[in-house]
Amino acid sequence: MEFIQEEEPNVKKPIIIAAMQDMGNVGSIVVNFINDSLHTKTFRTAKILFPTYVIDRGGYIDLPDEKWEYKYTDDLIVFGGGRGQPQSNSELNDLCQDVINVAKKYSAKFIYTLGGFHTNRIFENKPKTFITSTSKKLMKQMKGLNVETTPQKSLITGFNGLILGFAKKNEIHGIGMYAELNEPEIPQYRSAISIIKTIEKLTYRKLGDTNQLEVMAQDIERRFKN
């Protein structure tokens, strides 16, 4: 991995929201929404040095532009979004460690991550968001905010789970938010909305109007039914 520092953000003890593309594109939808809504500005970029695939354009190939950006605004740092995740464990670990390094550099107190939670429960357009955290003490505090914890023991793979492990190892508070979805292969805008509302509840920060995400959810549902 290559990390390029483009400027020094003017942030003081920020919270960090870090997530990458996952089931139902939930991580990317939420991160991209926050960046667009809050007009965040890029200050650091993570790039893969060697491509893990090529794109055949029909007779010629292109190299993918695999990169992820750190952005900031008003004591908030947002990382990730975009497309895909690193394909190797070493690159994924390097990326998680870099998020931790950034958190330490700017004295971040919390890292929030998020993603999809695959379930067979029929939730009729109202998916729940479940929360897990880096300590029992922190989870007890979260329960006072009327949120639901993850319902059973499970493994959380990929960046959106592993970053919590890196946070715990480095004694940084971490919270993971995972919204229900039934169809992992289809963009899940309602799951993203559920997570956005949960972030707002936990951070006491308004992230923006989600009406456009609702419109996109309805469009996906119409196309899927057809």
Bridge-based pairing state of the strands 129-133 and 148-149: parallel
Query: Which of these, 199, 218, 207, 191, lies nearest to 29 by C-alpha position?
Result: 191
Taking CA 139 as the corner, what is the angle to CA 137 and CA 142, rounded to the nearest 5 degrees?
120
Taking every pair of Cα atoms in the chain, the longest distance, rounded to a whole number of angstroms, is: 58
The CATH code that applies to domain 2-225 is: 3.40.50.10900
pLDDT for 226 equals 60
Amino acid making up residue 169 = K
CA dist 151 and 163 (Å) reads: 20
pLDDT for 166 equals 96
pLDDT for 177 equals 95
Residue ranges, the chain, pLDDT below 70: 226
Entry pTM = 0.91
Residue ranges covered by each domain of the chain: 2-225
